[in-house]
Amino acid sequence: MVFGRLPSEERILLTGAKGQVGGELLKTLEPLGVVIAPERAMMDLADATSVRDTIRAVRPRWIVNPGAYTEVDRAESEPDLAYAINAEAVKVIGEEARVLGAGVIHFSTDYVFDGSGEEPYVETDTVGPMSVYGASKLAGERALAESGAGHMIFRTSWVYGARGKNFLLTILKLAREREALRIVDDQHGAPTWSRDLARMTAHVIKRCEATAQTIGWKAALQDASGVYHAAGGGDTSWFEFAAEAVQQQREKEPGVRFAKIESISTDQYPTPARRPSNSRLNCTKLKERFEWTMMYWRDSLREVLSEL
Ligand SMILES: NC(=O)C1=CN([C@@H]2O[C@H](COP(=O)(O)OP(=O)(O)OC[C@H]3O[C@@H](n4cnc5c(N)ncnc54)[C@H](OP(=O)(O)O)[C@@H]3O)[C@@H](O)[C@H]2O)C=CC1
Ligand SMILES: Cc1cn([C@H]2C[C@H](O)[C@@H](COP(=O)(O)OP(=O)(O)O[C@H]3O[C@@H](C)C(=O)[C@@H](O)[C@H]3O)O2)c(=O)[nH]c1=O
Ligand SMILES: [Mg+2]
């Protein structure tokens, strides 16, 4: 057996493979086993029956679930859909995984916190979502934890990369079109590279598979289960992130005119959803438990910009 690879013919069921994190996972999980990534028409996360039926048909060893409702502002007016995808589907995934004895890898968000204080949050800190999106993600975490399935929940923040819908690509586009961009400078956190998250996930799966060789599958899963914070290293604001990205891009394209990036406060940028002012996540547990350190945001930014 190749170190850390799944036993032969074992399957990984991947949701949301067209999303930012799912797209990266499709590539990083491929060497580990047989990855099955159903189209939305096959497995609609908003439809519990299709989720259940697909899991029963695939009988995976792992279910990796980056699929989610991620439109933070729109969720305020579509709470039922947000909860169906972010909570009810996760409950079904947990129930079916428990029956199969499968391991679940799930992703959650800094938006489960209310953003009070300035310290990076640890996994055991009190939650208090301020948005429908955050509350729906928290409900998903709880449903999975209560399902009895072996599970890892990776709470991350500010996910971005060279593809997909994300803040970086939005800002770089707007910066070419406009004279100035006004960006909030009082929400603090760290951007996380989608590929780094996918690599971390593959690493954790390999660790679990290796542990399973010695203590058995069930014990290995149980031992790894829990919530882990997994966000980029460092600490910044949306304003500083945007300013840094545009500055780096200016240096790469000296002939192009980019917008001036202006610092504003959250009350100058009204949105339907409230967002935490402190999104910092302390990732020590991930480092100690799995020996994985997430990349510093400035380092991943450089790599992502080089791919554009
Ligand atoms: N983006 C971020 O900044 C952060 C994300 N997270 C969490 O990380 C995880 C991954 O996020 P990210 O990759 O950025 O999200 P994306 O929005 O890029 O991808 C989500 C994926 O879920 C799919 N999806 C949505 N609704 C359904 C449905 N009804 N049936 C089937 N598939 C569906 C989407 O499909 P389609 O492409 O067709 O829309 C998309 O492929 C999520 O759990 C998210 O909550 C946590 C913190 C920050
Ligand atoms: C486009 C733009 C945004 N902003 C602000 C709004 C917001 O506070 C911040 C980031 O904008 P976004 O639309 O990317 O924010 P948002 O969609 O809330 O990003 C969140 O997505 C979900 C899925 C998560 O889980 C979170 O970790 C976080 O990444 O920047 C400006 O101030 N000026 C601008 O021109
Ligand atoms: Mg968004």
- In the chain, the domains with their CATH numbers are 8-165+191-233+280-296 (3.40.50.720)
Higher-confidence position of 272 and 9: 272
* Protein residue with least CA distance to atom 46, ligand 1: 109
Rounded CA separation 164/36 (Å):
21
pLDDT band at residue 9 under the 50/70/90 scheme: confident
pLDDT digits (tens, 9 = 90+) for 36-84: 999 999 999 999 999 999 999 999 999 999 999 999 999 999 999 999 9
Q: Which two tokens stand for residue 18?
A: 């067209």
pLDDT band at residue 283 under the 50/70/90 scheme: very high
pLDDT digits (tens, 9 = 90+) for 120-170: 999 999 999 999 999 999 999 999 999 999 999 999 999 999 999 999 999
Q: Which two tokens stand for residue 71?
A: 């439109």
Could you tell me if the CB of 23 is within 6 A of ligand 1? no
Q: How many residues does the chain have?
A: 308
pLDDT band at residue 4 under the 50/70/90 scheme: low
- Is residue 3 pLDDT above 70, yes or no? no
pLDDT band at residue 1 under the 50/70/90 scheme: very low
Could you tell me if the CB of 268 is within 6 A of ligand 2? no
Enzyme catalytic residues: 133
177 contacts 249 by C-beta, under 8 angstroms: no
Helices (H), the chain: 20-29, 48-58, 72-75, 79-83, 89-100, 132-146, 167-177, 194-215, 217-224, 238-252, 284-290, 297-307
Q: Which two tokens stand for residue 268?
A: 């100058």
Q: Which two tokens stand for residue 155?
A: 């709470």
Could you tell me if the CB of 50 is within 6 A of ligand 1? no
